[in-house]
Amino acid sequence: MEAKIVLLPGDGIGPEVVNAACQALETLAGVFGHRFHFEEHLIGGCALDQQGDPLPPASLQACRRADAVLLGAVGGPRWADPQAELRPEQGLLALRKGLGLFANLRPVRPFPQLLQASPLRPERLQGVDLLIVRELTGGIYFGQPRGRDQSGDEEQAFDTMRYSESEVRRVARLAFSLARSRRHKVTSVDKANVLETSRLWRQVVETVAAEFPQVALEHQLVDSAAMRLILEPASMDVLLTANLFGDILSDEAAVLTGSIGMLPSASLGEDGPGLYEPIHGSAPDIAGQGLANPCGAILSAAMLLRHSLGLAAEADALEAAVAAAVAAGARTRDLGGTLSTSAMTSAICKRIQPG
């Protein structure tokens, strides 16, 4: 098949890991006889520097015309001034909103050979296979009003957490339908003992659960869910969460895999292109040194093959190549090894095999 993939390398280690994922996709296309056309565009801090806009209109338009989008990372200390009006992260948020990507899928499955890389005891990690489904275009990230005002002689700042029934319903339906092809369990995370949005969330999730009698639903408050992720992560299957809770819990869950550098994500909407990105950030401390772990980006490319291009066998082959490289002892520095980004990428690419 032919497909058009927009690359948004972004900032920090973004260009290095996107380059690695692109190489893996090229290798895979050769092995399976596909043709992928890549087109690179600006997002984040580099877009801000070059065009004064963290998501230039040309980037969004190109994404809309693509079959899928692969993103590296945005942000860094250069653009972290709290007084700044424009920030790199706004580019990513505008892209998610602009493409209608309401669901963010973050699978967490530790590699058996990397159990030692996690600070948790290996027996806690046995059987961990989580899928975090995070609502991505609502909640406190986008609620209005937000801003600052003056109260007496001091300044105040405020954000709004807002969810509509339909926003909860569509992401919940996706979580339940994904649970059907897994272990048939959804843990819905909220703060219903305090927040009005969480009480609506719970109510809507209950009605969606009734449409999926094969899937068991449990509710869990976000504070105890954070603890359970460390104490008994294997007891959960699909974790359904609102935007902010999912952001926090997915970084916590990354600890289970030994390195945040291993984790991929997919952001999906009703239709149109999906957005694929490693969940790690721009890691400015190691940017440009060839030290970044490319696995999160390469595994994101596998999700792209599966979810946006319908190439399930190819996605399996790419995931198998990463697993085989790790099993053979290939390790970047974050995993306790010495391989550079490009050496790790080669170790993976040479293991890409058809079916």
Active site (catalytic) residues: 141, 191, 223, 247, 251
Give the three-class secondary structure for 69. Answer: strand
Burial class (CB in 10 A: 0-12, 13-18, 19+), 153: exposed
* DSSP symbols for 282-296: --GGGTTTT----HH
Contact residues toward ligand IPM (CB under 6 A) are: 74-75, 89, 92-93, 247, 279
Report in angstroms how near the CB of residue 89 gets to ligand IPM at its nearest: 4
Instruction: Give the range of 59-67, 170-178, 240-248, 327-335 binding Mg ion by CB under 5 A.
Output: 240-248
Report in angstroms how near the CB of residue 150 gets to Mg ion at its nearest: 31
Report in angstroms how near the CB of residue 42 gets to ligand IPM at its nearest: 16
Half-sphere exposure of 157 toward its Cβ, with a 13 Å CA cutoff? 2
Report in angstroms how near the CB of residue 43 gets to ligand IPM at its nearest: 11
Selection from Mg ion, ligand IPM, none that 89 binds (CB < 5 to 8 A by kind) is ligand IPM
Nearest to Mg ion of 16, 247 (CB atom):
247
Nearest to ligand IPM of 75, 110 (CB atom):
75
Report in angstroms how near the CB of residue 204 gets to ligand IPM at its nearest: 22
What are the φ/ψ torsions at residue 242 (nearest 5 degrees)? -75, 170
Nearest to ligand IPM of 133, 323 (CB atom):
133
Report in angstroms how near the CB of residue 92 gets to Mg ion at its nearest: 10
Q: Which of 17, 19, 60, 25 is nearest to 41 (CA)?
A: 60
Q: Which of 67, 167, 247, 314 binds Mg ion (CB under 5 A)?
A: 247
Nearest to ligand IPM of 93, 327 (CB atom):
93
Strand duo 35-40 + 2-10: pairing: parallel
**Measured between alpha carbons, how far is 299 from 5 in angstroms, rounded to an integer?**
15
**Measured between alpha carbons, how far is 73 from 22 in angstroms, rounded to an integer?**
15
What are the residues whose beta carbons fall under 8 Å from the beta carbon of 14, sequence distance 6 or more? 8, 44, 71, 72, 73, 74, 282
Q: Which amino acid is at 193?
A: N
Q: Are 205 and 173 in contact (CB under 8 A)?
A: no
Nearest to ligand IPM of 29, 94 (CB atom):
94
Instruction: Give the range of 197-205, 239-247, 305-313, 347-355 binding Mg ion by CB under 5 A.
Output: 239-247
Selection from ligand IPM, Mg ion, none that 92 binds (CB < 5 to 8 A by kind) is ligand IPM
- Residue-wise burial string across 80-105, b where 16 or more C-beta atoms lie within 10 A, e elsewhere: eeeeeeebbbbbbbbbbbbbebbbbb
Q: Are 155 and 149 in contact (CB under 8 A)?
A: yes
In whole angstroms, what separates CA 99 from the centre of its chain? Answer: 15
Sign of CA dihedral 121, 303, 245, 335: positive
Instruction: Give the range of 60-68, 90-98, 222-230, 241-249 binding Mg ion by CB under 5 A.
Output: 241-249
Instruction: Give the range of 43-51, 83-91, 245-253, 307-315 binding Mg ion by CB under 5 A.
Output: 245-253
Burial class (CB in 10 A: 0-12, 13-18, 19+), 4: middle
Report in angstroms how near the CB of residue 354 gets to ligand IPM at its nearest: 33
Could you list the residues that contact Mg ion (CB under 5 A)? 247
